[in-house]
A = this chain, B = another copy of it.
Amino acid sequence: MALGKDYLGQECAVARALELVGERWTLLVVRDVFYGVRRFSDFQAHLDIPRAVLTARLATLVDAGVLERRRYQESPPRDEYVLTDMGVSLWPAIYALAQWAIQYVPSAAGAVREFAHVPCDTVVDRTGLCPACGRVAPPGELEMRPGPGIHAYKRTDPVSLALRKPHRLLEPLHPVIAAAV
């Protein structure tokens, strides 16, 4: 954590996790990558994050091994950011935070999104368990769908619009974004 001091003597795992992903914006960036966002400008449009901060966060995450920066076109040179195994493993933490907020920090009208286990076509429960097969659904097998609270969602940037369609996690969202313009 780049805040003068780090979490110092805290030789605790929670502290080490927060050093990497506990800064402002960081977990929202990672969440967006699960949703399929991969490009600088798409993060920017979706999060309204200052460009300098986004640059810094992406660099930290690539540095730490959470994201991988990958060239997807040579001229002009363009890179995208994708999750490594380490990054994908953050899913349980992100999902747990989201479910906690859905239960205890309610917004207008219920969950904006829900997650279905694709092989079973069943919405997973609060702990991430698929009621149909009884297993914990890995993010790659989840499809994000608009939930009952989607009406409350007011953003109109291309990324937000693209995210209103059912979409497999981790799949690149950009084709959908491009089509939405």
A8–B48 contact, CB under 8 A? Answer: yes
List 7 A–B pairs whose Cβ atoms lie within 8 Å, in order of A's numbering.
Answer: A9-B154, A14-B98, A16-B101, A16-B105, A64-B105, A93-B93, A96-B96
Chain B's closest residue to A93 (CB) is B96
Q: A28-B7, A127-B92 are in contact. Are A105 and B20 (CB under 8 A)?
A: yes
Per-residue CB proximity of A29-70 to B under 8 Å, as 1/0?
Answer: 001000000000000000110000000000000001100000
Copies of this protein in the complex: 2
A11 at the interface (CB under 8 A from B): yes
Query: Which 10 A/B pairs are nearest by Cβ-Cβ distance?
Result: A17-B101, A93-B96, A13-B98, A13-B101, A17-B97, A92-B96, A16-B101, A86-B104, A16-B105, A93-B97
* A133 proximal to B (CB < 8 A): no
Could you say which residues of chain B place their CB within 8 Å of the CB of A3?
24
Assess the A155–B24 pair: CB atoms within 8 A: no
Complex Cα spacing A153 to B9, Å? 8
Provide the bound-state CA to CA distance between A112 and B17, in Å.
Answer: 14
**Contact-residue size bin, chain A (C-beta under 8 Å from the other chain):** 35 or more
Say whether A94 faces chain B, with CB atoms less than 8 Å apart.
Answer: yes
> Min CB distance, A16 to chain B, in Å?
4
List, in ascending order, chain B residues with CB within 8 A of A19's CB.
105
Question: How far apart are A96's CB and chain B's nearest CB, in angstroms?
Answer: 4
A89 x B100 contact (CB < 8 A): yes
By a CB distance below 8 angstroms, the chain B residues around A28 are 7, 10, 12, 14-15, 18
A153-B1 Cα distance, complex, nearest whole Å: 20
- Report the separation of the CA atoms of residues A10 and B24 in the bound assembly, to the nearest whole angstrom: 14
Determine which of B17, B98, B136 lies in contact with A17 in the assembled complex, contact meaning CB atoms within 8 Å.
Answer: B98
